[in-house]
Structure 1
Amino acid sequence: MTATQAGQTPVSPLGQQTRTGTLHLTFEQVDGRTVLMREFQKAPLMIVRPFALPCGTLSVFVVNPTGGLLGGDHNDIQIRVGPGARALILTQSATRVHPSPTGAAATQTVQLSVAQGGRLEYYPERTIPFAGSRLVQTLHATLEPGAELGLTETLASGRVHSGERLAFAEYRSRTEVWQGSRHVYLDHLRLTPGPHTRTPGIWHDLDYAASGVFVGPGTVQDWPAEPGQLASGRSAGGAVWLRAAAAQGLRLDASLHTARQSLRQQLFGATALQIRR
């Protein structure tokens, strides 16, 4: 058994101390309200006290007070939503990925589980990979029939305003969604910037990208779309996918917010989110 498997803090060959953050949350419906029934958190991952939104959804902010992920760090996030419960997971700030002297990748695994009649929405803030950094993350969602899921993620090409653009070493992300025994969505992305990365069709002059997947019982009639910036459609498995890119982060955020609200209303029959920060 390795030190990581034993729950100890791993140490790199050069003596660099790394961190393993853990966050396990379970939401249930009790007397018509969503409550956080169980939580386990291990620094540097923690949550702000959950609060109910006017629509009845219980919102939780995830916080990392250390300033980001260092090479060799690992985050383990597990979220379960029971029947009838409604949970919204947000992050307080962007995820900053720092390099390590050894070149080791920071890693993150996210496991989402939603029971029949439950709804989980997971909308983390932007990921910003610093020059020389590596990030490998996987997200696996398991939905019972009748469960609802909303997920969006955004990525910057680097610390753009500091002159770092596509200077990270590697970014890998795998997102998959299962509904019962059906594989309804798979997105596997690997970016390794090089001399040809700035050619049209890859990033060109756009510095911010977003992806998303939504699963719900409703029918989409008004598909979110903005020429040259945002598109949506349906996967072969029946999930709704979303893609967006923009030269400015705020412009991407605005487009993503509008598209997200539209899909929530059409697929979930949900009212607009009123988030208190």
Structure 2
Amino acid sequence: MTLTRRTRTGELHLHFARRGGRTALLRDRQKAPLMVVRPFELPCGTLMVFIVNPTGGVLGGDHSEIRVEVEPGARALVLTQSAARVQPSPDGAAATQDLRFRVAAGARLEYYPERTLPFAGSRLRQTLRAELEPGAELGLSETLASGRVHSGERLRFAEYDSRTEVWQGGRRVYLDRQRLVPGDETRAPGIWAARDYAASGVWVGAGEVTDWPATAGILATGRTAGGAVWLRGAAARGPVLDTALGVAREALRAQLFGAPPLRVRR
């Protein structure tokens, strides 16, 4: 390792289970710079935890490993405290993140991180794999900015590579792969055009969706061949996309999970 390159490996392993009629965080293994604050029980009975990175950013060369296991009957909501600010390394190394979720039958896991914000010259490679037993429920959404737009860094990151897979009962029900390498073509109208914020998501549940949420010109939803519900969205302004995403997310949760709205206080 040179003096110009310092790397970190963060680990976070969370194990949720139902005990005494309530969801509890049985075990949490934390290695800086990843950690969680004390879990909070929401009025609906879901146990919520915030992932915190006290260093204020993800640096090129860093690696993060996140593992979440949810036992039968437990309800877990995992959020992040702030946006993931991806910063470059002097030698151009990529930051990497590996997430693995295991959700048992009758359990529910929801993961709604804050926006990913890639700085100029940064690289991020991320893989997420969720393995669900039949009867398990999953909610997942993510948002991505085209960069620090107001600092003149629109599409100035070097690489963004993300792969998300959801498996249920040994069968893949959802696959989303995005690899963005900005260049002259991606800065031209027709790719991102005037939109600087994108969203994606997937939900798996036993309920039927009869009222498909959509916002004209911003957000759409549908169903994969494997039965999972997908979401795609893009907007010129982050708050506009966030509002549309929040409405769609609650509509899907209500229909697929039969769940009341999430009431999260930050």
TM-score range, shorter chain: over 0.9
Aligned length: 266
CA contact 2:70–2:109 (8 Å) conserved in 1: yes
What's the secondary structure of 1:80's corresponding residue?
A: strand
1:139 aligns with 2:167: no
- Percent of residue pairs bearing the same amino acid type: 70
1:183 is matched with 172
Letter in 2 for 1:178: W
Q: Is the 8 A contact 1:27 1:37 kept in 2?
A: yes
Distance of 2:140 and 2:162 partners within structure 1 = 14
* TM-score, structure 1 normalization: 0.95
Aligned to 1:7: none
Instruction: Identify the match of residue 206 of structure 1 among 195, 218, 221.
Output: 195
Unaligned runs of 5+ in 2: none
- Select which of 93, 98, 102 maps to 2:91: 102
Q: Report the RMSD for the aligned CA atoms in angstroms.
A: 0.9
- Does the 8 Å CA contact 1:217/1:267 hold for their aligned counterparts? yes
Q: Which runs of 4+ in 1 moved over 2 A?
A: 198-201
Check conservation: 2:123, 2:157, Cα contact below 8 A. yes
Deviation of the 1:202 alpha carbon? 1.7
Deviations 1:227-249 (A, max 9, x none): 21100000011100000000000
Q: Which residue among 216, 219, 224 is the counterpart of 1:227?
A: 216
Contact (CA 8 Å) 1:198, 1:205: kept in 2 or not? no
**1:16 Cα deviation after fit:** 1.4
Residue 75 in structure 1 maps to residue 75 in structure 2: no
Name the TM-score, length of structure 2 as normaliser: 0.98
Q: Aligned pair 1:260/2:249, yes or no?
A: yes
1:124 aligns with 2:113: yes
Tell whether the 8 Å contact from 1:184 to 1:236 is kept in structure 2 after alignment: yes
Query: Which of the numbers 142, 145, 150 marks the counterpart of 1:156?
Result: 145
| Residue in 1 that maps onto 2:157 | 168
Equivalent residue, structure 2, for 1:3: none
Distance 2:166 2:221 in 1: 17
Which letter maps to 2:242?
Answer: D
Match of 2:13 in 1: 24
2:43 pairs, out of 42, 45, 54, with 54
> How many Å apart are 1:17 and its aligned residue?
1.3
Confirm or deny that 1:240 pairs with 2:237. no
Structure 1 residue runs without a partner (length 5+): 1-10
Match of 1:90 in 2: 79
SS at match of 2:124: strand
Query: Cα offset for 1:196?
Result: 1.3
One-letter amino acid of the structure 2 residue matched with residue 181 of structure 1 = G
Alpha-carbon distance between aligned partners in 2 of 1:50 and 1:161, rounded to the nearest angstrom: 35
Contact 1:14/1:102, CA 8 A, preserved across alignment = no
